[in-house]
């Protein structure tokens, strides 16, 4: 088996990969690269991922980036049925979810979390929020709609998609976000299922995230 090292930061999208690894039965270790302390921009980390983003997974000597690719790799190498194998449509459904989370949901938080990536002029941030907040609300409601009548993203069985959903649930419950989003009962129930899995809290706690600070920015 290859040696796996995940580079992860508390409350970042890398948390999905951490939880998926913990559920996978694969041997792995983690290195904490705290974004809030600027550790993702150190020379040491830029040697791992020159783009300076988290997550990255070192697989022996190779480095894989992008949460969706890492989750897909974990699902395919785990023996714990974390990604459908021989059913093309079921696999495509998993990627449909993960691509939606990466390309649409993650990005919908930008006007609130990282406006500087979208526009240089700070005086325009309120304008950005005017458009960005309703878009975020609608995008999160779409996640909730897709979770209707299902325990897990893919239906009855847990998969690598589920911890990815949890990351964005946690973001949606931040004090600076919650006033802007609607009630999302299906997603809330999904998050509760996630929090009931011991692997979830094991990973969050190792990264320093607890029930008391989970909603910190």
Ligand X SMILES: N[C@@H](CCC(=O)N[C@@H](CS)C(=O)NCC(=O)O)C(=O)O
Binding residues vs ligand X (CB under 6 A): 12-13, 35, 40, 53-55, 66-67, 102
φ, ψ for residue 5 (rounded to 5)? -130, 120
Q: Which is nearer to ligand X, 32 or 189 (CB)?
A: 32
- Minimal distance, residue 82 CB to ligand X, in Å: 18
Between CA 132 and CA 139 the distance in angstroms is 10
Nearer to ligand X, 189 or 214 (CB): 214
* Nearest distance in Å: CB 51, ligand X: 8
Cα distance between residue 170 and residue 208, in whole Å = 14
How far, in Å, CA of 125 to CA of 190, rounded? 33
Q: Would residue 11 be called left, alpha or beta, if left means φ above 0 and alpha means ψ between -120 and 50 degrees?
A: left
**Shortest spacing between CB 67 and ligand X, in angstroms:** 4
Tally of CB atoms within 10 A around 29? 10
CA-based angle 48:51:56, to the nearest 5?
45
Closest approach, Cβ 114 to ligand X, in A, equals: 6
Q: Do 176 and 217 touch, CB atoms closer than 8 A?
A: yes
Q: How many CA atoms lie within 13 A of 166 on its CB side?
A: 29
Q: Which is nearer to ligand X, 13 or 20 (CB)?
A: 13
Q: Which is nearer to ligand X, 17 or 82 (CB)?
A: 17
Q: In the bound complex, what is the minimum distance in angstroms from residue 75's beta carbon to ligand X?
A: 15
The two structure tokens encoding residue 85: 């194998």
Nearer Cβ to ligand X (67/94) = 67
In the block, tokens 């040491």 appear at 44
Complex with ligand X: residue 106 or 190, whichever CB lies closer: 106
At closest approach, how far in Å is the CB of 86 from ligand X?
27
């Amino acid at each position: 088996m290859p040696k796996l090292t995940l580079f992860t930061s508390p409350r970042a999208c890398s948390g999905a990969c951490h939880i998926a690894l913990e559920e996978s039965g694969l041997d792995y270790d983690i290195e904490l690269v705290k974004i809030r302390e600027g550790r993702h921009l150190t020379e040491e980390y830029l040697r791992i991922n020159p783009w300076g983003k988290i997550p990255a997974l070192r697989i022996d000597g190779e480095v894989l980036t992008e949460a969706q690719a890492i989750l897909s790799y974990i699902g395919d190498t785990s023996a714990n049925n974390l990604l459908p194998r021989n059913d093309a449509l079921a696999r495509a459904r998993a990627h449909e979810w993960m691509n939606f989370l990466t390309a649409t949901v993650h990005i919908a938080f930008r006007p609130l979390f990282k406006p500087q990536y979208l526009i240089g002029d700070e005086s325009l941030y309120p304008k950005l929020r005017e458009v960005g907040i309703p878009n975020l609300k609608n995008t999160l409601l779409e996640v909730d709609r897709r979770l209707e009548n299902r325990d897990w993203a893919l239906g009855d069985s847990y998969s690598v998609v589920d911890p990815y959903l949890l990351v964005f649930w946690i973001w949606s419950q931040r004090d600076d976000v919650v006033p802007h989003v609607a009630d999302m009962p299906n997603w809330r129930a999904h998050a509760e299922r996630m929090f009931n899995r011991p692997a979830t809290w094991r990973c969050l706690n190792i990264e320093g995230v607890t029930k008391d600070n989970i909603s910190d920015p």
